[in-house]
Amino acid sequence: MSIIDSLGMLIARKWIAGVDLGHAMREAKKYNSKKENVIMNYLGEDLKSKKLVEQNKGQILALLDRMHSEKIKGSIAVKPTQIGIAISKSYFAANYSEILEKASVCEFTVWLDMEQFEYVKGTIDMYLRFCRKYDTGICIQAKLRQSLKDIQRIVKQNGRIRLVKGAYKYTNAISFQEKQEVYSNYIKCMDYLFAHSKKFMIATHDERIINIARNKEKKTGKKIQFGMLKGIRPQLAAKLAESEDMNIYMPYGEQWLEYSMRRLSEWEHAKIILRSIMQG
Ligand SMILES: Cc1cc2nc3c(=O)[nH]c(=O)nc-3n(C[C@H](O)[C@H](O)[C@H](O)COP(=O)(O)OP(=O)(O)OC[C@H]3O[C@@H](n4cnc5c(N)ncnc54)[C@H](O)[C@@H]3O)c2cc1C
């Protein structure tokens, strides 16, 4: 590993559970012991070759076996581009259903992550083909202007949503640009979920949203799930886990760079921290 890679890995360890399954399982158990469930994610995205998809699928199936044998409390998340959406619809369907079959034997939920806009429709369509038969959920990005409509369509078919703000950059035509607009749309989508969905996850580190969600839980008597990313506001996550169904998204694997770059770009204090690391 070069010095740059080592430095990058040092920073990435904040968000990543390690480079292999052994590391990931040790980290998952640590979180489980604090009453935090894990959403395990073998890192891989933007795959255009069947060979790479097969390798990733093998790792995901092995992850399910290991989570089952180690009695991990949690679920898994997969990226559509990791299991073939960019290759063909039928290949994507075959891989998704193979993972769902295995997960149902091992008794874990499979979450479909949401990626760039070009994959949103294909991901939702594929999810709706399988969501009645298997225990599976889908991520929806509140920053997209169309998301409330997508949520209504999914909830009507009994689908389960994990609501996030959205980690990708889009044009004004398809997405809200201002933080306040994204926040308002998140609240709109969450209100709809409280009114119409039986089970869903509020995945954010935004304390304003978390507080509104907790008040709604009290008012409606509906118990929901909360989600946060490993390494972001861990004290808040631990506190919530005392009384809420808390789920920590825990990526691991060799492909840590893309994911870490997204987290770094959202980290308001990143520049200050990086500067202090570089200055020793
Ligand atoms: C469980 C889970 C699953 C996710 N899955 C997806 C997915 O499939 N697709 C997708 O597009 N996005 C996904 N995301 C990412 C999400 O879209 C946001 O990019 C991310 O959660 C930051 O938004 P926020 O809601 O926390 O609000 P923000 O307004 O970005 O953050 C609220 C506060 O959290 C803290 N914070 C946020 N990010 C960081 C950071 N990187 N470092 C340090 N502090 C930070 C800050 O205190 C900030 O003020 C997921 C997020 C979670 C929690």
Single-letter amino acid code for the residue at 154: I
Query: Which residues have a Cβ under 8 Å from the Cβ of 179 and sit 6 or more positions away?
Result: none
Domains identified in the chain and CATH numbers = 3-278 (3.20.20.220)
Residues 154-189 have pLDDT tens digits of: 999 999 999 999 999 999 999 999 999 999 999 999
Our separate counts of H helices and E strands in the chain read 11, 8
CB-based contact 190:217 (threshold 8 Å): no
Say how many Å lie between the CA of residue 165 and the centre of ligand 1. Answer: 7
Q: What residues line ligand 1, using a CB cutoff of 6 Å?
A: 39, 113-114, 139, 141, 164-168, 203-206, 227-229, 232-233, 249, 263, 266-267
Phi, psi of 154 (to 5 degrees): -70, -45
Half-sphere exposure of 173 (CA within 13 A, CB side): 1
Say how many Å lie between the CA of residue 227 and the centre of ligand 1. Answer: 10
Say how many Å lie between the CA of residue 81 and the centre of ligand 1. Answer: 20
pLDDT at position 263, please?
Answer: 77
Asked if residue 121 has pLDDT above 70, the reply is: yes
The model's confidence at residue 53, banded by pLDDT at 50, 70 and 90, is very high
Mean pLDDT taken over the chain: 92
List alpha helices for 70-171, DSSP H: 89-106, 120-130, 147-156
Q: What percentage of the chain has pLDDT greater than the value 70?
A: 91
Q: Considering only CA atoms, which of 45, 32, 33, 35 is closest in space to residue 84? A: 45
Among 8-17, 42-51, 169-178, the least confident range: 8-17
Query: Which residues have a Cβ under 8 Å from the Cβ of 221 and sit 6 or more positions away?
Result: none
pTM > 0.75: yes
Ligand 1 atom 25, closest CA: 204
Reported in sequence order, the residue ranges of the chain that DSSP labels E, i.e. its strands, are: 37-42, 74-78, 110-112, 136-141, 160-164, 200-203, 225-229, 245-252
CB-based contact 137:160 (threshold 8 Å): yes
CB-based contact 117:170 (threshold 8 Å): yes
List alpha helices for 157-203, DSSP H: 179-196
Ligand 1 atom 5, closest CA: 113
Say how many Å lie between the CA of residue 94 and the centre of ligand 1. Answer: 30
